[in-house]
Amino acid sequence: MLNVVTLDEAGKILQNLVKPVKRTELITMGKAVGRVLAADLCSQADVPSFDRAMVDGLAVRGADTFGASDTLPAMLSLAGTIKMGETPDFRLNPGECALVPTGGALPTGADAMVMIEYTENLGGKLWLVQRPVSPGDHIVKRGDDFAAGQVVLPASRQIRAADIGTLAALAANQILVFEQPRVAIISTGNELLPVGEPIVPGCIHDVNSPALSVLVRQAGALPILYGIVADQPDELAGVLTKAASECDLVLVSGGSSVGEKDYLAAAIAAQGKSDLLFHGIAVKPGKPTIAGLAGDRIILGLPGHPLAAWFMTFWLALPLLDALQGKMPTEPETLTAVISCRIPSNLGRESIIPVKLIPSAESGKQWQAEPVFTKSGLITALSQSDGCIRISRELEGIEAGSQVTVYRFH
Amino acid sequence: MLNVVTLDEAGKILQNLVKPVKRTELITMGKAVGRVLAADLCSQADVPSFDRAMVDGLAVRGADTFGASDTLPAMLSLAGTIKMGETPDFRLNPGECALVPTGGALPTGADAMVMIEYTENLGGKLWLVQRPVSPGDHIVKRGDDFAAGQVVLPASRQIRAADIGTLAALAANQILVFEQPRVAIISTGNELLPVGEPIVPGCIHDVNSPALSVLVRQAGALPILYGIVADQPDELAGVLTKAASECDLVLVSGGSSVGEKDYLAAAIAAQGKSDLLFHGIAVKPGKPTIAGLAGDRIILGLPGHPLAAWFMTFWLALPLLDALQGKMPTEPETLTAVISCRIPSNLGRESIIPVKLIPSAESGKQWQAEPVFTKSGLITALSQSDGCIRISRELEGIEAGSQVTVYRFH
């Protein structure tokens, strides 16, 4: 009756339903890292806007230096000296040269630079050049970095730190990018208090809202907090409707007791014409995870237990955030380790086990992974762990000494 | 005369001089990821503050259920029903039980939960329990997550996303951390214009200030922009003095022409009683990199060429930012690839080559690295590359097909 799926199946069901956010906004360069271009970024002008010397020396016409050597230098007449940041107000005629510093502008007519080491001033305007240069030598020509109109970074490109120099060279300080996905974060439960409020007996602080917000923000999306909703079916359904109309993805956690479970499933199912996408996942922790649609917006119903909510966000929501941003899926950072002891697991149900990484005594490169066992419902395990491992539902556990893939936490 | 060192030597010289920032500040939970705790984070109270049910069912005294079975159930009298978030106002006496939802508070006297599936209501207050439970079964005891006064996260711990749940559970919304290192960023050169200003002939936009700011910010430090300083020795020396008095590290780029080179070296050397720490690095690009001290603050003089300035910041400044934050050195993300063509290099001088990564046709896992060659002084290479490789100064190049370590860009 209940539609229970595996963790990988749940991921695929959700991935098939998610579409990239197409709303756009203009942002400044300093905020561009990690964002995705909504249009080709084109150069508005030639960069650099003039022919630039790459060495200190004499700007020349290359043809005037052909065959020059120590014993038979070319003799040129200094037409002028150019300072950094200045535009030459003269033209270089055959037989002439000009002193230009590295980065300075070449006068019209010049097509190469001779390094100052291969020149000699005979006094006054007369200079000797002892090496030949070809046109283009030791200069950057106008437009060599970017020609006006050129597509420098294509639409859909995710901007990296290494691209910021390019944006600066283009003077692109207003950049059209796709908006960050808006992710609604809702916690349910009469026993929850916001972190800012003092604790009262019978209540606990809401861990999931801040914990999931940080994961969402790290993934490049915008967490929108809808606060704590009491265990009232109508109120919850109303908040879900509002959140789904305002956000691109809804994460709602809680509802782990019998009555609440029904509320949450009913409130999610009430949003759409369809049934739930799945109703439970064969994974521990994370079993009571459910999902549904409100229009084309996914609502992911997470367990209330913080460890389970965190793992399900990590494995199910983060890939959706990549897709919403039009990014290639971010591969979780992994390493291979040897497990320190036998870990039992149930056939038919995948297990996710938090582990601590310990450098192995034998070799510098090898890691040992030690499972961090805690009672269900505690949140200490996350802080004590460096990552987690997944044990397949086809295994009844893994033996001490087995090689495992550890997915690292950040 | 000039004190030229290798890139690794330069890194070691600087690392030996840098000390962690010890200034502290209070921040909120939402800004804590990546920051380093300045004091032990202790639990101010027991978490949870009460004994909590982990299943829906009956709170009992375990001793009352010993030996209970389907055929010989224990009979208990219901002392009350507890709702989520409420504190029981009664005590559980021997022979009594209480209905408690998952997450609810146990009454005083109860020490275990029986899952609702193993109970039966005989009508009225009479309940049968068909399974025995031991004290502690299916509950989280007061303080099981954190006991009052317990050190939960030790001083010097870098806070990760996975720790935010713990901070929330502790209601630690004011967290004492070390201040982020302040990193002065200065560009020098008469030819430079800020990105916001229109280009004029002979001038180029300042690429290094925004590009290096992003690298610094990504590494967890605070870039402080001192703008563009003209090629005037006194002015530059003055800005360096001010920056070194206000910041923990000074990055100054530019001074690539003959006159400027002298200005920058002189301005840095003028800050301290000591000579320059080094005056040139045997690496391409990056040769004109210099360093000195103003008091105990390092001033790193970077080349003006954006690619060189970026590489030297990547290899020399980022490890300093880890050390200033008291963090373990961040290992650059690497992968192994096969180089696509011969790359020549000079004996005695290390080379850093930007490369593009191409999935190899033969195998799914293998990458091919293709060098991105550009003229010196251009910045396009960074945007076109996925990372860089280093070619040892003991080699005259590497052959096509060689295995290389690629340091990835972000």
Contact A205 B168 (CB under 8 A): yes
Region of poorest pLDDT, from A37-41, A334-338, B372-376: B372-376
Q: What is the pLDDT of residues A126-160, one digit of tens each?
A: 999 999 999 999 999 999 999 999 999 999 999 99
pLDDT score, position B171: 93
B410 or A155, which is more confident: A155
Contact residues on chain A for B214, CB-CB shorter than 8 A: 30, 33, 161, 164
Name the burial class of residue B391, with classes exposed (0-12), middle (13-18) and buried (19+) by CB atoms within 10 angstroms of its CB.
buried
Contact B202 A173 (CB under 8 A): no
pLDDT score, position A364: 59
Would you say B171 and A204 are in contact if contact means Cβ atoms under 8 Å apart? Answer: no
Distance from CA of A220 to the nearest CA of B (A): 13
Distance from CA of B99 to the nearest CA of A (A): 12
Q: Calculate mean pLDDT across residues A79-96.
A: 95
Contact A54 B146 (CB under 8 A): no
Contact B173 A196 (CB under 8 A): yes
Task: Give the pLDDT band of residue B356 (cuts 50, 70, 90).
Answer: very high
Would you say A317 and A311 are in contact if contact means Cβ atoms under 8 Å apart? Answer: no
> Which of A103, A171, A258 is nearest residue B257 as measured by Cβ atoms?
A103
Task: Give the pLDDT band of residue A34 (cuts 50, 70, 90).
Answer: very high
Contact B169 A218 (CB under 8 A): no
pLDDT score, position A1: 52
Contact residues on chain B for A304, CB-CB shorter than 8 A: 103
List phi, psi (to 5°) of B148: -55, 130
Q: Does A199 touch chain B (CB under 8 A)?
A: yes
Distance from CA of A313 to the nearest CA of B (A): 12
Indicate if the pLDDT at residue A260 is higher than 80. no
Q: Tell me whether 0.85 is exceeded by the ipTM.
A: yes
Q: Does A108 touch chain B (CB under 8 A)?
A: no
Indicate if the pLDDT at residue B319 is higher than 80. yes
Contact B85 A30 (CB under 8 A): no
**And the tokens for A216?**
């969402």
- Name the closest residue on chain A to residue B383, using Cα atoms: A163
Task: Give the pLDDT band of residue A258 (cuts 50, 70, 90).
Answer: low
Share of chain B above pLDDT 70, in %: 96
Q: Does A1 touch chain B (CB under 8 A)?
A: no
Q: Does B29 touch chain A (CB under 8 A)?
A: yes
Residues in B 319-358 with any Cβ partner in A closer than 8 A = none
> Which of B85, B208, B385 is nearest residue A202 as measured by Cβ atoms?
B85
Identify the top-confidence range among A252-266, B170-184, B324-338: B170-184
> Which of B144, B152, B160 is nearest residue A378 as measured by Cβ atoms?
B144
Distances in Å between the alpha carbon of A108 and those of A60, A65, A147, B199? 10, 17, 19, 19
**Over chain A, what is the mean pLDDT?**
93
**And the tokens for A47?**
């960069």
Q: Calculate mean pLDDT across residues A254-270.
A: 74
Q: Calculate mean pLDDT across residues B38-63.
A: 95
> Which of B144, B162, B215 is nearest residue A382 as measured by Cβ atoms?
B162
Contact residues on chain B for A214, CB-CB shorter than 8 A: 30, 33, 161, 164
B170 or A332, which is more confident: B170
pLDDT score, position A275: 82
Radius of gyration of chain B (CA): 32
Q: Calculate mean pLDDT across residues A46-67.
A: 95
Region of poorest pLDDT, from A115-129, A392-406, B73-87, B269-283: B269-283
Token pair 């210099």 in the structure block, residue: B290
Residues in B 2-21 with any Cβ partner in A closer than 8 A = none
> Which of A49, A161, A171 is nearest residue B410 as measured by Cβ atoms?
A161
> Which of B48, B161, B410 is nearest residue A410 as measured by Cβ atoms?
B161
> Which of A101, A199, A206 is nearest residue B259 as measured by Cβ atoms?
A101
Contact A49 B199 (CB under 8 A): yes
A156 three-state secondary structure? coil
> Which of B88, B215, B385 is nearest residue A161 as measured by Cβ atoms?
B215
Q: Under the phi-then-psi rule, with left for phi > 0, alpha for psi from -120 to 50, and beta for the rest, what region is B265?
A: alpha
Q: Does B315 touch chain A (CB under 8 A)?
A: no
- Name the closest residue on chain A to residue B172, using Cα atoms: A195
Q: Does B93 touch chain A (CB under 8 A)?
A: no
A95 or B231, which is more confident: A95
- Name the closest residue on chain B to residue A304, using Cα atoms: B103
Distance from CA of A28 to the nearest CA of B (A): 11
Q: Does A375 touch chain B (CB under 8 A)?
A: yes
pLDDT score, position B201: 87
- Best A35, A205, A260, A327 residue to mutate vs chain B (most B CBs within 10 Å): A205
Indicate if the pLDDT at residue A324 is higher than 70. yes
**And the tokens for A158?**
């995710």
Contact residues on chain A for B207, CB-CB shorter than 8 A: 165, 168-169
Contact A204 B161 (CB under 8 A): no
> Which of B85, B214, B257 is nearest residue A191 as measured by Cβ atoms?
B85
**Over chain B, what is the mean pLDDT?**
93
> Which of B49, B144, B259 is nearest residue A201 as measured by Cβ atoms?
B49
- Name the closest residue on chain A to residue B313, using Cα atoms: A162
Q: What is the pLDDT of residues B137-166, one digit of tens each?
A: 999 999 999 999 999 999 999 999 999 999
Indicate if the pLDDT at residue A193 is higher than 60. yes
pLDDT score, position B359: 87
Q: Does B365 touch chain A (CB under 8 A)?
A: no
Indicate if the pLDDT at residue A255 is higher than 80. no
Contact A47 B204 (CB under 8 A): yes
Q: Does B161 touch chain A (CB under 8 A)?
A: yes
Indicate if the pLDDT at residue B70 is higher than 80. yes
Contact A102 B166 (CB under 8 A): no
Contact A52 B385 (CB under 8 A): no
Contact residues on chain A for B256, CB-CB shorter than 8 A: 102-103
> Which of A56, A116, A165 is nearest residue B310 as measured by Cβ atoms?
A165
- Beta-sheet pairing, B278-279 with A192-193: unpaired
pLDDT score, position A359: 87
pLDDT score, position A362: 66
- Does the pTM exceed 0.90? yes
> Which of B171, B191, B383 is nearest residue A163 as measured by Cβ atoms?
B383
- Name the closest residue on chain A to residue B382, using Cα atoms: A162
A127 or B378, which is more confident: A127
Contact residues on chain A for B169, CB-CB shorter than 8 A: 204-205, 207, 306, 379
- Best A204, A224, A373 residue to mutate vs chain B (most B CBs within 10 Å): A204
Q: Hey, which residues does A63 pair with through a beta bridge?
A: none
Task: Give the pLDDT band of residue A280 (cuts 50, 70, 90).
Answer: very high
Q: Calculate mean pLDDT across residues A54-60.
A: 95
Three-state SS letters, chain B: CCCCECHHHHHHHHHCCCCCCCCEEEECHHHCCCCEECCCEECCCCECCCCEECCCEEEECHHHHCCCCCCCCEEEEEEEECCCCCCCCCECCCCEEEEECCCCECCECCCEEEEHHHEEECCCCEEEECCCCCCCCCEECCCCCECCCCEEECCCCECCHHHHHHHHHCCCCCEEEECCCEEEEEEECCCEECCCCCCCCCCEECCHHHHHHHHHHHCCCEEEEEEEECCCHHHHHHHHHHHHHHCCEEEEECCCCHHHHHHHHHHHHCCCCCCCCEECECEECCCCCEEEEECCEEEEEECCCHHHHHHHHHHHHHHHHHHHCCCCCCCCCEEEEEECCCEECCCCCEEEEEEEEEECCCCCCCEEEEECCCCCCCCHHHHHCCEEEEECCCCCEECCCCEEEEEECC
Residues in B 57-86 with any Cβ partner in A closer than 8 A = 83-86
Contact A199 B45 (CB under 8 A): yes
Task: Give the pLDDT band of residue B380 (cuts 50, 70, 90).
Answer: confident
Size of interface A-B (CB pairs under 8 A): 249
